[in-house]
Structure 1
Amino acid sequence: MGLLSKDIKSMDDLFVHTLRDIYYAENQIIKALPKMIDKVSNPQLKQGLEKHLQETEGHVRNLDEVFRMMKLEAKGVDCPAMDGIIEEANEVASEIEDKKVLDAAIIAAAQAVEHYEITRYGTLITWAQELGRKDCAEVMKRNMADEKATDDKLTQLAEQRVNLEATQ
């Protein structure tokens, strides 16, 4: 089912499709993060990504809860955007030999992931509220808070240390 699919006939349908999109994306992130973590040389970055992997596992559990609340099967739909972000990150990471430059590239890739998630959760929270599902919105707000906090931490780490080290 594509975004402009004939199967999407209402806001409820669009909400469920987008919920399944982020569910797929979160599960893809769980698969991709360990590979990124293995390539990182900066200990703070490694620790931050390991923490975010645990948070992402929690995000999937939260989404499982939203699906239960809506009495729907928890399943994803292909998300070409997240697949592309992860594919690009893997390609770039495979081409960089300098560990410090690689750390900077991994932060950039991680932030692309975070920004995608932030846009999806922002939309889903708004739609849930408009559709009278404040219960679902409250659960997804927890994920949104984690995504924003991770993005902020990545920015701080990049600006205070990693990018400077990569330029030397």
Structure 2
Amino acid sequence: MARKNKSDEMPNAHLHELFVDELKDILGAERQLLKGLKKLSECAHSDTLKEAFKTHYKQTEGQIERLKSVFSSLDVTARGKKCKAMEGLLEEADEIMEEFQDSPEVLDAALISAAQKVEHYEIASYGCLVTYAKLMEHTEAEELLAATLAEEKETDVLLTEIAMDEANVEAVQ
């Protein structure tokens, strides 16, 4: 259900404004993340972890396209904005890469930690967006956002598995 962007015509205008603002934020975040995932993949030692980052890169490209569809379903131009939270998380990831670059046995565990912080931010963001879409009866947006939320949760589980099966084990040896 598309809604106009004129707040005075909508009964849920304030929530709609927040919803659109959060969509712009997460679109900007996903675009920023593409650069970060390339760095994480290049820095990882484990082939499993490298592949997980590459897979998430491809997923993120799809998530950006999905977000564009959400904007379209709302009759709103798909414009991102700089996400300060993602910027900070990626800066922290850069620091981790630099700090542990000479300790490959710990680096992958550190990279997973940084990546999971990003995943948790995305899970929180998409969780809120799904709720807002549901409350405003934006069914198409809700379905699209829920699909991305599910992917983010799957990625978090995968990173935990890699940490427990490989990275953390190597870090303690």
The corresponding residue for 1:160 is 165
Partner residue in 2 for 1:122:
127
Q: Show the counterpart of 1:63.
A: 67
Q: Which moved more, 1:37-46 or 1:68-77?
A: 68-77
Deviation, structure 1 residue 160: 1.5
Moved over 4 A (4+): none
How far 1:157 moved relative to its partner?
0.9
Quote the Cα distance in structure 2 between the aligned partners of 1:167 and 1:108: 15
Shift of 1:132: 1.3
- By how many angstroms is 1:78 displaced? 2.1
Per-residue deviation, residues 45-80 of structure 1 (Å, max 9, x unmatched): 111111010000000000010011111111112211
The residue number in structure 1 matching 2:42 is 38
CA RMSD of aligned residues (A): 0.9
Report the TM-score, using the length of structure 1 for normalisation.
Answer: 0.93
Long gaps (5+) in structure 1:
1-8
Q: 1:89: how far off?
A: 0.7
Please state if 1:108 is matched with 2:113. yes
- Max Rg structure: 2
Structure 2 counterparts to residues 1-168 of structure 1, below 5 A: 10-96=14-100, 97-168=102-173
Could you list the runs of 5+ residues in structure 2 that have no partner in the other structure? 1-12
Give the share of equivalent positions with the same residue, in percent. 41
CA distance in 2, matches of 1:31, 1:137: 27
Letter in 1 for 2:67: L
Alpha-carbon distance in structure 2 between the residues aligned to 1:23 and 1:124: 12
